Structure 1
Amino acid sequence: MTSNTSAAPRAARRRWATLLALFAILLIGAHLRFLSLITWDEPSSRLHPDERFFTDVASMLHVPASFDEYLDSARNPLNPRNYTKNNWYVYGLLPQTLTQYAAVMLSPQQVLPACVNRPEYSDPSITIGQPCQDTSLADYQRKIVNPDLAVPKLVWLQQALNAEGRDLTGYYEIFKVGRTWSALFDLGSLLLVFLIGLRLYGRRAGLLAALLYACAVLPIQLAHFFTVDAATGFFVLAAVYWAVRCAQNGGVISFGMLGLSIGAAMSCRVTLATLGLLGVLAVAVRLLRRDPLPNGQEDTTDRSHTAISSPRQVVTLSLLLAFAGGLALLSFRLLQPDAFRGTSFIDVLPDERFIENIQRISTFVSGEADSPPQQQWAGRTPFLFPLQNILLWGLGLPLGLAALAAWVVAGWQLIRRGNLAHLLPWAWVTFYFAWQGGQFVTTMRYYSSLYGLLCVLAAWGLVVLAAAKHLPATRVRVPSMVAGRGVAAKHLPATRVRVP
């Protein structure tokens, strides 16, 4: 009785200490990401080529007048391919959509133009919006009533965030909204890094991983640009987190959130459909996991002789995986409407312009096609060049080496010792780097979605190393991926980890 009574206050103090530490880390991360967010490069003409392109595209877009118009690729005024100036667009539409709606909601009604240009590529026989009635405009017959006027405005936020009452939808203003979204997404990534570390390796590793990510160089840099990278990284980490939950006896909600996260990630970068691998691996963990042992005993059974779970469990997990896949496709349909023709909700035939854009950009990334920006990648050593950039510049050499060493040890434990705690983060980092590292184009931002998991692995390695240094002859208790479920994990050579 006394033991239980004293344990409760200790657990409460530990929880409060963890929350306070996490709050402090979030403050550090927020400071570094919002510091001079809008003004750091002024005066400039958006020196980042992707940000300049994003800003130019965003300044032309408008919100659709109806949900049907939103789904119809040929009519949607959010579809960049509906405008003559920028019919080449290979990024996900979700960041642009969020930025456009936020900019419209934060702009006072009276500063928005009454009429705007209609998309030029639309079929003339298709009615888009309401005809402009302002005859004072020389080309009013080619314009439509600005659909942004019908969007509800956040007046209370306008006073706080747009006190000067500017039209935030224009070229010289909308990048500010986009940068704010980037900083918020990356701050969300920081929280997800903590949650993943907490789930896999315990609160100390989670807090350290969050601190490492808060101070990592490339994420801070990318948070200061209106591009797709911060949003992509957030949804990748969200998919990893929910995959971990799925592997830890997660049910319908966990699998559903995994599917939604994958769909959102695809709506930032379509190639991230490969995140479906995480769902397969999460199910594999559930099927290969052994039963709990009594009294916290270590499971030392050779995993090669582990029996597959019952047929009923296989069917159940297969259905949950199919459910996640269905939600991924549904969310992609809703968040990336320009990828489909979309004459109706069930019209999921791909838009020919979308397919052509993706096929064309793949020739540039592979080096098959040539253009002036591609020439900088000639002569680069595959795999070594992006690895060098990650270690030296993206993370910094100390953190980079810690992450690399942890990745090596985690892989060894996973393959030789069967430590399934490492499977999801290690497999995704390995797969993605092996896939992208051999491409002709190896720009640093292509690997930004790996940084959160690299910080998680580095934090795990440092926590275990610190424990081994201070307690060289003892067993160190570190929660594994399936803590409380009986899967034992062997860590560094002088140390063994036992699941409580």
Structure 2
Amino acid sequence: MMLFFVMVTGGFFRFVSLNWDDFVRFHPDERFLTMNVAPKLDMGYLSFTTHRTDPISVEEQTLYCAEQHPTTSGVGGYFDTRCSDWNPHNVGEGLYVYGTLPLFLTRVVAENLNRLGAPGSVWTNYWTDSNGLQLVWRFLSASADMIVIFIVFLIGTRLHGKWVGLLAAALYAACVFPIQQAHFGTADAITNLFVTLAIYAAVRVQVDGKLSAYGLFGLAYGMALASRINVLPVVGLLLIAAGLRMLPALLGRVTQEERNRILTYSMGGLVLAGFITVLTFRILNPYAFMGPGFFGLRPNPAFLDDIATAQNLVSGNAESPPNYQWIGRIDYLFPWQNIVLWGMGIALGLSGWFGWVWSGWRVLRGKVGSLRNLLLFGWILVYFGWLGPNWVASMRYFLVLYPVL
């Protein structure tokens, strides 16, 4: 009952006034995604840019697709990277640095909402125009973050019991920054859901080591990568969890048969997680590969170029007016200060970071039960350590730390 109250309260904060800006779209990512990209997908036409057809011309690319798919005006299948009308590069966008899962999810939901409208009514096409897509995406962001509240409860319960899980869920439900991000139609809240689910799966691997936990991690991790590629370090949590499961095999009193069983089971789990990750990523972020079929797994140069461009933009090397705001920011201190002061609030923020330091201290001292928090401690250490010195240190980059803090 108390968890239900926490979920309802957290849901209220996340769903209230989804159109708070009256379609102004102050968030530049939301403006780009809901106005420039999502409305053009699955419309039955292609629009190429020179930047994305090199070394051939736009005309040659158009002719190629027309020859390959003469009955569909050149539009290819879902996995046909060069000719699919689901590929942002093929509908007029020369640069797309996000994962495609949140984009596709929003578009599919919007198309199905259109079908619910009476033929000829204003609702028949409303949800796939820019305003409708904004509302759909914001609803999905709010829904995703509401699910995160429940997963935080599950993580806390697995590690420390239901009361700790309930407290963690309540604190996250009232956390300011996740509530704000739930009101934007961007990739961030949805990515946070899949990262948190992957963390929960890694905790389950650590606690009970079942194959289902490895499989869940592979699914969640693949979906997280298909949402934002910069959450790649999450895989380290599975490796640590599996390593902890294999530690008993190092004990001298363990029989060779038992040692082989432990190692085989854990390695099998890692292989299963890896396979599901690759399969999920292939399906949900298809244009990272060239296609044109499912088994066309050659990396897409345009995808790799987009990733390199994004890295250059956040490195400080790009001469761009938005980059000027980061001049004089202190590495690590600036993002940490934003988390404490504006993301969580001083009391909750300092408490969360104190808990992180205390957990690390207990691990270093070898205290009984300290390894229980190793995954959560390690995730904050690695991810904050990786992004903390970035030239561009937007608060949203650190959203995936909030459920753990």
Classify the TM-score, shorter chain: 0.7 to 0.9
Are residues 1:49 and 2:56 paired?
A: no
**Which piece of structure 1 moves more, 310-319 or 28-37?**
310-319
State which of 326, 340, 358 in structure 1 corresponds to 2:307.
358
The 1-side partners of 2:401 and 2:253 are apart by 31
State which of 220, 241, 248 in structure 2 corresponds to 1:261.
220
Relative to structure 1, is the Cα distance of residues 60 and 315 closer, same or farther in structure 2, using a 3 angstrom cutoff? same
Structure 1 residue aligned with 2:97: 90
1:59-458 correspondence to structure 2 within 5 Å: 59-62=39-42, 69-84=77-92, 86-108=93-115, 167-288=126-247, 310-418=259-367, 419-454=370-405
Deviating beyond 6 angstroms after TM superposition, the runs of 4 or more aligned structure 1 residues are: 109-113, 303-309
Relative to structure 1, is the Cα distance of residues 306 and 258 closer, same or farther in structure 2, using a 3 angstrom cutoff? farther
The 1-side partners of 2:253 and 2:228 are apart by 38
The 2-side partners of 1:399 and 1:333 are apart by 39
Query: Partner of 1:250: helix, strand, or coil?
Result: coil
Deviations 1:173-216 (A, max 9, x none): 21000000000000011110000000011111100000000000
* Offset, 1:307: 8.1
Amino acid aligned to 1:45: V
Does the aligned pair in 2 maintain the 1:238–1:258 contact within 8 Å? Answer: yes
Amino acid aligned to 1:202: G
Amino acid aligned to 1:268: S
Deviations 1:395-454 (A, max 9, x none): 000000100110010001112125110111110111000000011110000000110000
* Offset, 1:342: 1.3
* Offset, 1:271: 2.4
The 1-side partners of 2:187 and 2:308 are apart by 19
Amino acid aligned to 1:225: F
* Offset, 1:112: 9.0
Amino acid aligned to 1:446: Y
Query: Partner of 2:165: helix, strand, or coil?
Result: helix
Structure 2 residue aligned with 1:30: 11
Relative to structure 1, is the Cα distance of residues 73 and 306 closer, same or farther in structure 2, using a 3 angstrom cutoff? farther
* Offset, 1:167: 1.8
TM-score, with normalisation over the residues of structure 2? 0.87
Deviations 1:82-109 (A, max 9, x none): 122x221000100010100110100148
Query: Partner of 1:226: helix, strand, or coil?
Result: coil
* Offset, 1:284: 1.5
Amino acid aligned to 1:55: T
The 1-side partners of 2:190 and 2:340 are apart by 22
Does the aligned pair in 1 maintain the 2:41–2:87 contact within 8 Å? Answer: yes
Relative to structure 1, is the Cα distance of residues 112 and 55 closer, same or farther in structure 2, using a 3 angstrom cutoff? farther
Does the aligned pair in 2 maintain the 1:186–1:233 contact within 8 Å? Answer: yes
Structure 1 residue aligned with 2:50: none
The 1-side partners of 2:321 and 2:299 are apart by 30
Indicate the structure (1 or 2) with the bigger Cα radius of gyration.
1
1:9-24 correspondence to structure 2 within 5 Å: 20-24=1-5
Q: Specify every segment of 5 or more residues in structure 2 that has no aligned partner in the other structure, as ranges.
A: 45-71
How many residues in Structure 1 have an aligned counterpart in Structure 2?
A: 371
Query: Partner of 2:128: helix, strand, or coil?
Result: coil
Amino acid aligned to 2:98: Y
Deviations 1:257-312 (A, max 9, x none): 1101100000011122321111111112212369xxxxxxxxxxxx9999898233
The 1-side partners of 2:40 and 2:251 are apart by 58
Relative to structure 1, is the Cα distance of residues 35 and 163 closer, same or farther in structure 2, using a 3 angstrom cutoff? farther
Aligned-residue Cα RMSD (Å) equals: 2.4
The 1-side partners of 2:43 and 2:386 are apart by 36
The 2-side partners of 1:165 and 1:24 are apart by 36
TM-score, with normalisation over the residues of structure 1? 0.71
